[in-house]
Amino acid sequence: MKTVSTLLCLLCVSVPVLASDDAAVPPPEPYCQWEMVNYSIPEPLCGLKGDAANGQKVVLDSARGNCLACHQLPVDGVEAYGTIAPPLAGIANRLGEAQLRLRVVDSRHLNPNSIMPGFYRDPSLINRPAAKYAGRTFLSAQNVEDVIAYLETLK
Amino acid sequence: MIKLTARAWAGGLILVLASVVGADQAIKSGYEYIKPETQLMQDDDIENPGFIAVEEGRELFNRMPDSGKSCASCHGEGGAKLDVKNLARYPVYDKALGGIVRLEDRIRNCEEKQANTEALPYYDHNLLALETFVRNLAKEEPVNVQTDGEMEPLLKKGDEIYHTRYGLIDMSCAHCHDMYPGQYIRGQRISQGKGNGFPAYRLDTGEMANLDLRIKQCLTLMRAEPFAPDAEESKLLETYIMAHSNGLKIETPAVRY
């Protein structure tokens, strides 16, 4: 009997906690399917239009794009950056918008052993995500488009 | 003559490339990848914050619990009777317990079965201190994990986990620690992910971490669901990493980012 009441008590405590967690984190957006054509993705994700200024914010934000973890970027005032991946200065001279999109969305299609995370990889392909990330993409479709719009300015 | 020069150039280039590519292939302690000032901090027993854990651990080791049996009751005051060569073999395969036993598992098992006390929870401050103290007794001993016999198939399983991608960031241990040691993630240099310095004091968290906790912190960073501390995966992965640290001198308590 004591165990039962303890269990009930635990439920009382845990239910409100769960509920408040749910309130804080919006449910995952529906995943937009995309099509790879000639090693690129010509169509914007979900038909969205990117915003370059917001893209720069996403790129620099360590909780969102966190591009500086691995890449060097031509942004004033940035000192710490990674050396794992190619520097991105002038990237728009080397790759077109559709090619950039595939690389940001899921570069695994170009190199299956790439260390680069897929920022819009199909969530069903993610192995053992932490509970709060289950069913989610690394970046929202809008943020991916914003990042691409920003990368296109790097000429 | 021109041809010869060209060939010499090409040969030289290949040598240079080979040495660059091979530079990080030799097994190296994480010590080789930390900043010089961090190395100095580790080398000085007074500056090294990990020695606080060593001293806390020593006190716990010698302290007599109500059950009337302390660690020192069996292993001598300050662990005088512990065999450092044996400590350097951890994690071990224990036939009686039917699997891999890490140092923290051994301490917990001793607490329950020998000292008749309740085992400290995994990652508990005092358990980390005890593990740090005991491992520090074997400082300078080369890591010497068994790789044959019962361990062989277990290491194969550990190898598989080491090479599996986890979490939203979707990387395996190998992606950073085998492919890019020496390179930088932001301002931090990537090591080969060896275990000889652990338990180590982490500058990032300001706390001690044993290898299992360090792996958990990595997996959390990968936005993955970490393995439970006593899960088989945790034991297999730690054993794989420690076996691949064989030959490196134990540095506990190391200072790491």
pLDDT score, position A24: 67
Facing residue for B166 by CB, picked from A69, A83, A127: A127
Tokens of A134: 């289950």
Residue ranges of chain A with per-residue pLDDT less than 70: 1-24
- Taking the Cβ of residue B163 and every Cβ of chain A, the question of whether any pair is shorter than 8 Å is answered with no
Which positions in chain A touch B187 (Cβ < 8 Å)?
79-80
Residue of B169, B172, B177, B183 to mutate, interface with A, max A Cβ within 10 Å: B169
What is the per-residue pLDDT across B93-133, written as a single tens digit (0 to 9) for each? 999 999 999 999 999 999 999 999 999 999 999 999 999 99
Which ranges in chain B belong to alpha helices (H)?
2-22, 36-43, 50-62, 71-75, 84-87, 103-113, 125-136, 151-162, 173-177, 211-221, 232-243
The closest alpha carbon to B194, from B130, B121, B122, B249, belongs to B249
Q: Give me the long-range contacts of A77-82 (CB less than 8 A, separation at least 24).
A: A79/B187, A80/B186, A80/B187, A81/B184, A81/B186, A82/B183, A82/B184, A82/B185, A82/B186
Q: Write out the H or E segment, with its range, that includes residue B184.
A: strand B184-185
Q: How far apart are CA A88 and CA A152, in angstroms?
A: 11
Enumerate residues 195 to 254 of chain B having a beta carbon within 8 A of any beta carbon in chain A: 220, 223-226
Is the CB of B165 less than 8 angstroms away from the CB of A70? no
pLDDT score, position B21: 45
Facing residue for B165 by CB, picked from A127, A130, A138: A127
Q: How far apart are CA A76 and CA B169, in angstroms?
A: 27
Facing residue for A82 by CB, picked from B167, B186, B226: B186
Strands B188-189, B207-209: pairing kind: unpaired
- Taking the Cβ of residue B116 and every Cβ of chain A, the question of whether any pair is shorter than 8 Å is answered with no
Is residue B110 part of the annotated active site? The answer reads no
- Taking the Cβ of residue B23 and every Cβ of chain A, the question of whether any pair is shorter than 8 Å is answered with no
Q: Residue B82 corresponds to which amino acid?
A: L
pLDDT score, position B15: 45
pLDDT score, position B22: 44
Strands B92-94, B99-101: pairing kind: antiparallel
What is the per-residue pLDDT across B154-166, written as a single tens digit (0 to 9) for each? 999 999 999 999 9
What is the DSSP secondary structure assignment for residue B179, as one 8-state letter? T
Q: Is B201 helix (H, G, I), strand (E, B) or coil?
A: strand
Is the CB of B184 less than 8 angstroms away from the CB of A127? no
* Dihedral sign from CA coordinates of B41, B43, B46, B50: positive
Q: How far apart are CA A143 and CA A46, in angstroms?
A: 12
More confident residue, B249 or A18: B249
Whether the Cβ atoms of residue A101 and residue B153 lie closer than 8 Å to each other: no
Determine which of A93-97, B21-25, B36-40, B194-198 has the lowest per-residue pLDDT on average. Answer: B21-25
Average confidence (pLDDT) over B184-210: 96
Average confidence (pLDDT) over B204-217: 97
Q: Write out the H or E segment, with its range, that includes residue B101.
A: strand B99-101
What is the per-residue pLDDT across B46-80, written as a single tens digit (0 to 9) for each? 999 999 999 999 999 999 999 999 999 999 999 99
Whether the per-residue pLDDT at B138 is higher than 70: the answer is: yes
pTM for the whole structure: 0.87
Q: How far apart are CA A67 and CA A87, in angstroms?
A: 10
Q: Nearest residue on chain B to A65, judged by CA atoms?
A: B169
Task: Calculate the average pLDDT of chain B.
Answer: 92
Is the CB of B185 less than 8 angstroms away from the CB of A131? no
